[in-house]
Protein backbone atom coordinates (compact mmCIF):
# COMPACT_ATOMS: atom_id res chain seq x y z
CA UNK A 1 0.00 0.00 0.00
CA UNK A 2 1.14 3.52 -0.68
CA UNK A 3 2.27 5.66 2.22
CA UNK A 4 0.83 8.89 3.60
CA UNK A 5 1.67 11.72 1.22
CA UNK A 6 1.70 9.60 -1.92
CA UNK A 7 -1.62 8.02 -0.99
CA UNK A 8 -3.28 11.40 -0.45
CA UNK A 9 -1.92 12.66 -3.77
CA UNK A 10 -3.27 9.56 -5.52
CA UNK A 11 -6.68 10.03 -3.89
CA UNK A 12 -6.72 13.65 -5.01
CA UNK A 13 -5.98 12.57 -8.59
CA UNK A 14 -8.89 10.13 -8.64
CA UNK A 15 -11.30 12.58 -6.99
CA UNK A 16 -10.30 15.25 -9.50
CA UNK A 17 -11.18 12.96 -12.40
CA UNK A 18 -14.43 11.74 -10.85
CA UNK A 19 -15.67 15.28 -10.30
CA UNK A 20 -14.25 16.90 -13.44
CA UNK A 21 -17.64 16.76 -15.16
CA UNK A 22 -18.69 19.58 -12.81
CA UNK A 23 -16.36 21.91 -14.75
CA UNK A 24 -18.38 21.59 -17.94
CA UNK A 25 -21.70 22.26 -16.26
CA UNK A 26 -20.51 25.19 -14.19
CA UNK A 27 -19.18 26.63 -17.44
CA UNK A 28 -22.54 26.02 -19.13
CA UNK A 29 -24.28 27.70 -16.18
CA UNK A 30 -22.01 30.74 -16.54
CA UNK A 31 -22.86 30.95 -20.24
CA UNK A 32 -26.61 30.74 -19.56
CA UNK A 33 -26.34 33.37 -16.82
CA UNK A 34 -24.31 35.64 -19.12
CA UNK A 35 -21.83 36.39 -16.31
CA UNK A 36 -18.73 36.80 -18.52
CA UNK A 37 -20.52 39.19 -20.87
CA UNK A 38 -22.02 41.20 -18.01
CA UNK A 39 -18.58 41.80 -16.51
CA UNK A 40 -17.17 42.61 -19.94
CA UNK A 41 -19.89 45.16 -20.69
CA UNK A 42 -19.20 46.97 -17.41
CA UNK A 43 -15.54 47.36 -18.36
CA UNK A 44 -14.46 47.02 -14.72
CA UNK A 45 -14.61 44.55 -11.83
CA UNK A 46 -18.25 44.03 -10.85
CA UNK A 47 -19.48 43.76 -7.22
CA UNK A 48 -21.38 40.59 -6.37
CA UNK A 49 -24.61 42.51 -5.67
CA UNK A 50 -24.44 44.32 -9.03
CA UNK A 51 -23.83 41.08 -10.88
CA UNK A 52 -26.76 39.44 -9.09
CA UNK A 53 -29.06 42.31 -10.12
CA UNK A 54 -27.91 42.04 -13.75
CA UNK A 55 -28.52 38.33 -14.30
CA UNK A 56 -31.20 37.22 -16.79
CA UNK A 57 -32.94 35.25 -14.01
CA UNK A 58 -33.92 36.36 -10.48
CA UNK A 59 -31.16 35.71 -7.94
CA UNK A 60 -32.85 34.77 -4.67
CA UNK A 61 -29.69 33.14 -3.33
CA UNK A 62 -26.59 35.40 -3.31
CA UNK A 63 -24.79 32.52 -1.62
CA UNK A 64 -25.39 30.23 -4.62
CA UNK A 65 -24.05 32.89 -6.99
CA UNK A 66 -20.93 33.38 -4.84
CA UNK A 67 -20.28 29.64 -4.86
CA UNK A 68 -20.64 29.45 -8.64
CA UNK A 69 -18.27 32.39 -9.05
CA UNK A 70 -15.82 30.81 -6.61
CA UNK A 71 -15.77 27.68 -8.78
CA UNK A 72 -15.29 29.74 -11.94
CA UNK A 73 -12.36 31.43 -10.22
CA UNK A 74 -10.88 28.02 -9.43
CA UNK A 75 -11.23 27.25 -13.16
CA UNK A 76 -9.38 30.53 -13.88
CA UNK A 77 -12.32 31.79 -15.95
CA UNK A 78 -12.92 34.77 -13.66
CA UNK A 79 -10.86 36.48 -10.95
CA UNK A 80 -12.14 37.42 -7.49
CA UNK A 81 -10.94 40.71 -6.00
CA UNK A 82 -11.51 42.31 -2.60
CA UNK A 83 -11.53 46.15 -2.75
CA UNK A 84 -10.12 46.68 0.74
CA UNK A 85 -7.66 43.83 0.64
CA UNK A 86 -9.68 41.66 3.01
CA UNK A 87 -12.03 38.75 2.41
CA UNK A 88 -14.80 40.31 4.52
CA UNK A 89 -15.56 42.98 1.89
CA UNK A 90 -18.00 42.43 -0.95
CA UNK A 91 -16.37 40.42 -3.69
CA UNK A 92 -15.58 41.98 -7.04
CA UNK A 93 -15.54 39.81 -10.15
CA UNK A 94 -13.11 40.50 -12.99
CA UNK A 95 -12.19 38.80 -16.24
CA UNK A 96 -9.09 36.69 -16.91
CA UNK A 97 -7.18 36.04 -20.15
CA UNK A 98 -9.34 32.93 -20.67
CA UNK A 99 -12.56 34.95 -20.37
CA UNK A 100 -12.22 36.46 -23.85
CA UNK A 101 -12.87 33.05 -25.39
CA UNK A 102 -16.25 32.92 -23.60
CA UNK A 103 -17.63 36.27 -24.77
CA UNK A 104 -20.66 35.44 -26.90
CA UNK A 105 -20.14 38.13 -29.53
CA UNK A 106 -16.39 37.71 -29.91
CA UNK A 107 -15.27 36.24 -33.23
CA UNK A 108 -13.07 33.70 -31.43
CA UNK A 109 -15.68 32.72 -28.85
CA UNK A 110 -15.84 29.04 -27.88
CA UNK A 111 -19.35 29.40 -26.46
CA UNK A 112 -21.05 27.58 -29.38
CA UNK A 113 -18.71 24.61 -28.94
CA UNK A 114 -19.31 24.52 -25.18
CA UNK A 115 -23.08 24.56 -25.72
CA UNK A 116 -22.91 21.75 -28.27
CA UNK A 117 -20.64 19.60 -26.13
CA UNK A 118 -22.92 19.92 -23.08
CA UNK A 119 -26.13 19.36 -25.07
CA UNK A 120 -28.04 16.21 -24.14
CA UNK A 121 -27.73 14.99 -27.73
CA UNK A 122 -23.95 14.78 -27.31
CA UNK A 123 -23.88 13.68 -23.67
CA UNK A 124 -26.02 10.55 -23.96
CA UNK A 125 -23.55 8.57 -26.13
CA UNK A 126 -20.72 9.31 -23.69
CA UNK A 127 -22.52 7.14 -21.13
CA UNK A 128 -21.99 4.23 -23.53
CA UNK A 129 -18.36 4.82 -24.49
CA UNK A 130 -17.56 1.14 -23.99
CA UNK A 131 -19.79 0.29 -26.97
CA UNK A 132 -17.03 1.68 -29.21
CA UNK A 133 -15.12 -1.55 -28.57
CA UNK A 134 -17.64 -3.22 -30.88
CA UNK A 135 -16.18 -1.34 -33.84
CA UNK A 136 -18.85 1.32 -34.34
CA UNK A 137 -19.22 4.75 -32.73
CA UNK A 138 -21.32 4.74 -29.56
CA UNK A 139 -23.40 7.60 -31.01
CA UNK A 140 -24.63 5.40 -33.85
CA UNK A 141 -25.51 2.54 -31.52
CA UNK A 142 -27.30 4.77 -29.01
CA UNK A 143 -29.04 7.07 -31.51
CA UNK A 144 -29.62 4.63 -34.35
CA UNK A 145 -27.79 6.72 -36.95
CA UNK A 146 -24.81 8.95 -37.54
CA UNK A 147 -24.23 12.53 -36.42
CA UNK A 148 -24.47 13.59 -40.09
CA UNK A 149 -27.85 11.87 -40.50
CA UNK A 150 -29.15 13.62 -37.41
CA UNK A 151 -27.96 16.99 -38.69
CA UNK A 152 -29.57 16.42 -42.09
CA UNK A 153 -33.05 15.93 -40.61
CA UNK A 154 -32.95 18.16 -37.50
CA UNK A 155 -32.56 21.86 -38.33
CA UNK A 156 -31.94 22.89 -34.71
CA UNK A 157 -29.18 20.32 -34.22
CA UNK A 158 -27.71 21.19 -37.62
CA UNK A 159 -27.45 24.83 -36.54
CA UNK A 160 -25.97 23.89 -33.14
CA UNK A 161 -23.41 21.63 -34.80
CA UNK A 162 -22.46 24.07 -37.57
CA UNK A 163 -22.05 26.98 -35.16
CA UNK A 164 -19.76 24.85 -32.98
CA UNK A 165 -17.62 23.87 -35.96
CA UNK A 166 -17.51 27.48 -37.18
CA UNK A 167 -16.33 28.81 -33.82
CA UNK A 168 -13.51 26.28 -33.73
CA UNK A 169 -12.45 27.32 -37.22
CA UNK A 170 -12.57 31.02 -36.32
CA UNK A 171 -10.27 30.29 -33.40
CA UNK A 172 -7.65 28.64 -35.60
CA UNK A 173 -8.09 30.95 -38.62
CA UNK A 174 -5.19 33.34 -37.95
CA UNK A 175 -2.69 30.54 -37.38
CA UNK A 176 -4.03 28.64 -40.38
CA UNK A 177 -3.72 31.64 -42.72
CA UNK A 178 -0.20 32.44 -41.56
CA UNK A 179 0.81 28.80 -41.78
CA UNK A 180 -0.32 28.29 -45.37
CA UNK A 181 1.20 31.42 -46.95
CA UNK A 182 4.09 29.53 -48.50
CA UNK A 183 1.89 26.64 -49.64
CA UNK A 184 -0.55 28.98 -51.41
CA UNK A 185 2.12 30.93 -53.29
CA UNK A 186 1.20 30.78 -56.98
CA UNK A 187 -2.10 29.00 -56.27
CA UNK A 188 -5.13 30.41 -58.12
CA UNK A 189 -7.99 28.32 -56.71
CA UNK A 190 -8.81 26.46 -53.49
CA UNK A 191 -11.65 24.18 -52.45
CA UNK A 192 -12.51 23.90 -48.75
CA UNK A 193 -13.69 20.29 -48.48
CA UNK A 194 -16.17 19.76 -45.66
CA UNK A 195 -16.07 23.54 -45.31
CA UNK A 196 -19.25 23.86 -43.24
CA UNK A 197 -20.36 27.46 -42.93
CA UNK A 198 -17.33 28.68 -44.89
CA UNK A 199 -15.47 30.22 -41.96
CA UNK A 200 -12.08 28.87 -43.08
CA UNK A 201 -12.67 29.80 -46.72
CA UNK A 202 -13.64 33.35 -45.74
CA UNK A 203 -10.44 33.77 -43.75
CA UNK A 204 -8.34 32.49 -46.64
CA UNK A 205 -10.21 34.59 -49.22
CA UNK A 206 -9.65 37.70 -47.11
CA UNK A 207 -5.92 37.01 -46.79
CA UNK A 208 -5.47 35.92 -50.42
CA UNK A 209 -7.96 37.98 -52.47
CA UNK A 210 -6.61 36.63 -55.76
CA UNK A 211 -7.80 33.11 -54.86
CA UNK A 212 -11.01 31.62 -56.19
CA UNK A 213 -12.41 29.90 -53.08
CA UNK A 214 -15.05 27.17 -53.14
CA UNK A 215 -16.88 25.86 -50.06
CA UNK A 216 -17.77 22.20 -50.59
CA UNK A 217 -20.00 20.29 -48.19
CA UNK A 218 -23.10 18.11 -48.01
CA UNK A 219 -26.13 19.59 -49.79
CA UNK A 220 -28.13 20.17 -46.57
CA UNK A 221 -25.18 22.08 -45.08
CA UNK A 222 -24.75 24.28 -48.16
CA UNK A 223 -28.50 24.89 -48.43
CA UNK A 224 -28.79 26.02 -44.80
CA UNK A 225 -25.80 28.37 -44.65
CA UNK A 226 -25.69 32.11 -45.18
CA UNK A 227 -23.92 32.73 -48.48
CA UNK A 228 -21.06 35.23 -48.42
CA UNK A 229 -19.80 37.32 -51.34
CA UNK A 230 -16.49 36.26 -52.79
CA UNK A 231 -17.08 32.55 -52.17
CA UNK A 232 -18.60 29.83 -54.31
CA UNK A 233 -20.72 27.09 -52.74
CA UNK A 234 -21.05 23.54 -54.02
CA UNK A 235 -23.02 20.69 -52.47
CA UNK A 236 -21.90 17.11 -52.93
CA UNK A 237 -20.26 14.02 -51.46
CA UNK A 238 -16.50 14.08 -50.85
CA UNK A 239 -16.42 10.28 -51.06
CA UNK A 240 -17.64 10.49 -54.67
CA UNK A 241 -15.83 13.52 -56.10
CA UNK A 242 -14.32 16.88 -55.15
CA UNK A 243 -14.46 20.08 -57.24
CA UNK A 244 -11.23 20.71 -59.15
CA UNK A 245 -8.82 23.33 -57.80
CA UNK A 246 -5.11 24.06 -57.43
CA UNK A 247 -5.31 23.47 -53.67
CA UNK A 248 -7.53 21.49 -51.32
CA UNK A 249 -8.15 22.40 -47.68
CA UNK A 250 -9.34 19.83 -45.14
CA UNK A 251 -9.95 21.59 -41.82
CA UNK A 252 -10.99 19.23 -38.99
CA UNK A 253 -12.44 16.74 -41.47
CA UNK A 254 -10.23 13.66 -41.53
CA UNK A 255 -10.35 13.12 -37.76
CA UNK A 256 -14.04 12.26 -38.24
CA UNK A 257 -13.21 9.16 -40.27
CA UNK A 258 -11.40 5.82 -40.15
CA UNK A 259 -8.12 5.31 -41.99
CA UNK A 260 -9.90 3.49 -44.82
CA UNK A 261 -12.42 6.32 -45.23
CA UNK A 262 -9.66 8.94 -45.03
CA UNK A 263 -7.79 7.21 -47.85
CA UNK A 264 -10.92 7.40 -50.01
CA UNK A 265 -11.34 11.12 -49.24
CA UNK A 266 -7.67 11.86 -49.88
CA UNK A 267 -7.72 9.99 -53.19
CA UNK A 268 -10.75 12.04 -54.31
CA UNK A 269 -8.85 15.18 -53.28
CA UNK A 270 -5.80 14.08 -55.26
CA UNK A 271 -7.98 13.52 -58.32
CA UNK A 272 -9.27 17.10 -57.97
CA UNK A 273 -5.73 18.56 -57.99
CA UNK A 274 -3.32 19.14 -60.88
CA UNK A 275 -1.11 16.13 -61.61
CA UNK A 276 1.95 18.11 -60.60
CA UNK A 277 2.18 20.99 -58.13
CA UNK A 278 -1.25 20.55 -56.54
CA UNK A 279 -1.39 21.44 -52.85
CA UNK A 280 -3.13 19.61 -50.02
CA UNK A 281 -3.50 21.50 -46.74
CA UNK A 282 -4.81 19.60 -43.72
CA UNK A 283 -5.52 21.40 -40.46
CA UNK A 284 -6.11 18.81 -37.77
CA UNK A 285 -4.92 17.58 -34.40
CA UNK A 286 -1.64 15.70 -34.10
CA UNK A 287 -1.25 13.57 -30.97
CA UNK A 288 2.13 12.39 -29.81
CA UNK A 289 3.61 11.61 -26.40
CA UNK A 290 3.71 15.24 -25.25
CA UNK A 291 2.19 14.97 -21.79
CA UNK A 292 3.38 18.40 -20.71
CA UNK A 293 2.12 20.26 -23.79
CA UNK A 294 -0.60 22.79 -22.90
CA UNK A 295 -3.02 21.16 -25.37
CA UNK A 296 -2.13 17.55 -24.49
CA UNK A 297 -5.26 16.76 -22.47
CA UNK A 298 -7.60 18.54 -24.87
CA UNK A 299 -6.11 16.67 -27.82
CA UNK A 300 -6.53 13.32 -26.08
CA UNK A 301 -10.09 14.24 -25.09
CA UNK A 302 -11.01 15.03 -28.68
CA UNK A 303 -9.68 11.61 -29.65
CA UNK A 304 -12.22 10.08 -27.26
CA UNK A 305 -14.98 12.28 -28.68
CA UNK A 306 -14.17 11.22 -32.23
CA UNK A 307 -14.31 7.59 -31.18
CA UNK A 308 -17.73 8.10 -29.56
CA UNK A 309 -19.39 10.37 -32.13
CA UNK A 310 -18.01 9.48 -35.55
CA UNK A 311 -15.74 6.45 -35.36
CA UNK A 312 -12.82 8.69 -36.33
CA UNK A 313 -9.61 9.40 -34.45
CA UNK A 314 -6.81 11.85 -33.79
CA UNK A 315 -3.51 10.74 -35.31
CA UNK A 316 0.20 10.80 -34.54
CA UNK A 317 2.80 12.28 -36.89
CA UNK A 318 3.68 8.78 -38.09
CA UNK A 319 0.03 7.96 -38.78
CA UNK A 320 -0.51 11.22 -40.70
CA UNK A 321 2.55 10.50 -42.83
CA UNK A 322 1.37 6.98 -43.60
CA UNK A 323 -2.10 8.21 -44.50
CA UNK A 324 -1.05 11.07 -46.78
CA UNK A 325 1.72 9.18 -48.56
CA UNK A 326 -0.52 6.11 -48.79
CA UNK A 327 -3.04 8.17 -50.77
CA UNK A 328 -0.37 8.87 -53.38
CA UNK A 329 0.85 12.33 -52.44
CA UNK A 330 4.51 13.05 -53.13
CA UNK A 331 5.42 14.66 -49.82
CA UNK A 332 4.11 15.32 -46.33
CA UNK A 333 5.25 18.02 -43.93
CA UNK A 334 3.80 18.70 -40.47
CA UNK A 335 4.27 22.00 -38.68
CA UNK A 336 2.75 23.65 -35.60
CA UNK A 337 0.54 26.71 -35.80
CA UNK A 338 -0.86 28.92 -33.03
CA UNK A 339 -3.73 26.55 -32.21
CA UNK A 340 -4.60 23.14 -30.82
CA UNK A 341 -4.43 21.84 -34.39
CA UNK A 342 -1.34 21.55 -36.56
CA UNK A 343 -0.87 21.95 -40.31
CA UNK A 344 -0.10 19.02 -42.58
CA UNK A 345 1.05 20.01 -46.08
CA UNK A 346 1.35 17.69 -49.05
CA UNK A 347 1.75 18.04 -52.80
CA UNK A 348 1.11 16.06 -55.94
pLDDT digits (tens, 9 = 90+) for 53-83: 999 999 989 999 999 999 999 999 999 998 8
The answer on 68 and 191 residing in a single domain is: no
The answer on 282 and 151 residing in a single domain is: yes
| Domain of residue 198, residue span | 111-347
| Residue 44 belongs to domain with CATH number | 1.10.10.10
Percent helix, strand, coil in the chain, to 5, is 50, 15, 35
The answer on 216 and 68 residing in a single domain is: no
The answer on 311 and 334 residing in a single domain is: yes
List, for residues 81-115, the tens digit of each pLDDT value.
Answer: 988 756 567 899 999 999 999 999 998 999 999 99
The answer on 263 and 294 residing in a single domain is: yes
Of 74, 127, 255, 293, which one is the catalytic site residue?
255
The answer on 322 and 292 residing in a single domain is: yes
DSSP 196-234: TTSHHHHHHHHH-TTSEEEEEE-HHHHHHSPP-TTEEEE
Confirm if 289 and 282 have CB atoms less than 8 A apart: no
The answer on 137 and 44 residing in a single domain is: no
The answer on 94 and 115 residing in a single domain is: no
List, for residues 321-338, the tens digit of each pLDDT value.
Answer: 999 999 999 989 999 998
Residue 302: which residues within 8 A CB-CB, separation 6 or more? 255, 285, 314, 340
255 tagged catalytic: yes
Domain count, the chain: 2
The answer on 283 and 202 residing in a single domain is: yes
The answer on 159 and 43 residing in a single domain is: no
| Residue 163 belongs to domain with CATH number | 3.40.50.150
Report the distance separating Cα 66 and Cα 79, nearest Å. 12
Last residue of a domain, one of 62, 84, 102: 102
Amino acid sequence: MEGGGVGVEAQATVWSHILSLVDSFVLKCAIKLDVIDIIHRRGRPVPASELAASLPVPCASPSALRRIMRYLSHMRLIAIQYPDGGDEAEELYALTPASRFLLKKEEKSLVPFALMQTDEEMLEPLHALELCLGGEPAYKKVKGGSVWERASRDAAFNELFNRAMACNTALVADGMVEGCRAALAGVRSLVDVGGGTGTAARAIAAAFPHLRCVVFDLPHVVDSMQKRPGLEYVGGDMFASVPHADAVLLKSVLHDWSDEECLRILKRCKEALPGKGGKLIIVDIVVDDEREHEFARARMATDMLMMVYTGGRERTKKEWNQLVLGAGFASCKIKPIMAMEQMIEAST
